[in-house]
Amino acid sequence: MAILLDGKAVSAAVKAQVKTEVAALKEQGVSVGLAVIIVGDNPASRTYVNNKKKACAEAGIVSEEYALPADTSQDELLSLIDTLNRKPEINGILCQLPLPAHLDEKAVIAAIAAEKDVDAFHAVNVGHIMIGDHTFLPCTPAGIMEMLHFYKIDAAGKACVVIGRSNIVGKPMAMLLLQADGTVTICHSKTQRLAEVTARADILVAAVGIPHFVTADMVKPGAVVIDVGMDRDENGKLCGDVDFAAVEPKASYITPVPGGVGPMTVAMLLKNTVAAAKMQNNL
């Protein structure tokens, strides 16, 4: 029987720390502000944005929402970002992805000032992550590392396998595990004999977006299994990339879906926003 990695409990601890830091900054005359841009009416994006706004309010962070119509032009979006870049009371800017197809996500990410890029997607911040002197970390990988630390799971010397190579989760996740002295393998759609590779993992991170993709035969007995997926099964029920019922008896630790990695992502966004405010105010 695996121990559940409780993202709600860990995120509550992170949020409590953030709230304390925000209050301390206010005593120094510094207000912490986050701007959230959402383009169009993607229901999942709307849910994420609402969760972020609620978390900001609870932590004492001022959040400004900019809800733009789906037909917003590239120039209009870039103009808004430019305005927010120059707005001193805004410490962090987040543009909710995915964007409508006619908009250039790369150009939008590049337009956000690196020091306000609390998603840590800007090329400058990605470079800092590569060389290990970062101020911000991408929220989901950072949240996973926070969970491992909370449960005293040390990656040093462990075989770590990440399934997925996205810029948002897979690649930065691999870098953070490497910086924690793990021996890291990245798997993807072209990986051969995938189950053989994953079955060697002491720490297995699944970030592919396919329901129940990771089956019991892919998991080493006693492995730590991190499920980043937020999928829907054939009955429309929320599930992850891991076949939880089959894998849980083999694992030593496992994240549930929901209630695992998801809550950590929002908590780390708040942490990044506070870090941005400190940096911009030379604190």
Residues near 250 by beta carbon (within 8 Å), at least 6 away in sequence: 2, 216, 219, 220, 221, 222, 223
pLDDT exceeds 90 at position 18: yes
pLDDT at 233: 86
Mean pLDDT of the chain: 96
**174 closest CA partner among 190, 189, 185, 159:** 185
Residues 212 and 250: their CA atoms lie apart, in Å, by 15
pLDDT at 216: 98
What structural domains does the chain harbor? 30-116 (3.40.50.10860), 139-262 (3.40.50.720)
pLDDT exceeds 90 at position 1: no
Q: Across the beta sheet with 203-206, what order do the strands follow?
A: 3-4, 253-254, 224-227, 203-206, 159-163, 183-187
pLDDT at 7: 97
Residue pair 160/140 in contact (Cβ under 8 Å)? The answer is: no
Which residues, in sequence order, are bridge partners of residue 4? 254
Q: Which of 15, 52, 158, 271 is catalytic?
A: 52
**57 closest CA partner among 283, 266, 277:** 266
Residues 222 and 13: their CA atoms lie apart, in Å, by 27
Q: Which residue blocks in the chain are alpha helix, DSSP H?
A: 7-27, 43-59, 74-85, 105-111, 123-131, 139-150, 170-179, 194-198, 244-247, 261-280
Q: Is 96 a catalytic residue?
A: yes
pLDDT at 73: 98
- The pLDDT tens digits of the residues spanning 219-270 come to 999 999 999 999 988 888 999 999 999 999 999 999 999 999 999 999 999 9
Helix (H, G, I), strand (E, B) or coil at 231: strand
- The pLDDT tens digits of the residues spanning 169-228 come to 999 999 999 999 999 999 999 999 999 999 999 999 999 999 999 999 999 999 999 999
pLDDT exceeds 90 at position 42: no
Residue pair 5/260 in contact (Cβ under 8 Å)? The answer is: yes
pLDDT at 187: 98
pLDDT at 229: 95
Residues 160 and 24: their CA atoms lie apart, in Å, by 38
Average pLDDT score over residue span 40-65:
93
Residues 265 and 20: their CA atoms lie apart, in Å, by 19
Q: Is 52 a catalytic residue?
A: yes
Residues near 115 by beta carbon (within 8 Å), at least 6 away in sequence: 135, 276, 279, 280
Strands 238-239 and 231-232: antiparallel
Residue pair 276/91 in contact (Cβ under 8 Å)? The answer is: yes
Q: Which of 96, 202, 241, 271 is catalytic?
A: 96
pLDDT at 44: 84
Look-up of token digits 């994953």:
198
- The pLDDT tens digits of the residues spanning 101-141 come to 999 999 999 999 999 999 999 999 999 999 999 989 999 99
pLDDT exceeds 90 at position 142: yes
pLDDT exceeds 90 at position 67: yes
Q: Which of 15, 116, 117, 119 is catalytic?
A: 119
Residues near 86 by beta carbon (within 8 Å), at least 6 away in sequence: none
Q: Is 243 a catalytic residue?
A: no
121, two tokens: 């997607």
Residues 116 and 54: their CA atoms lie apart, in Å, by 20
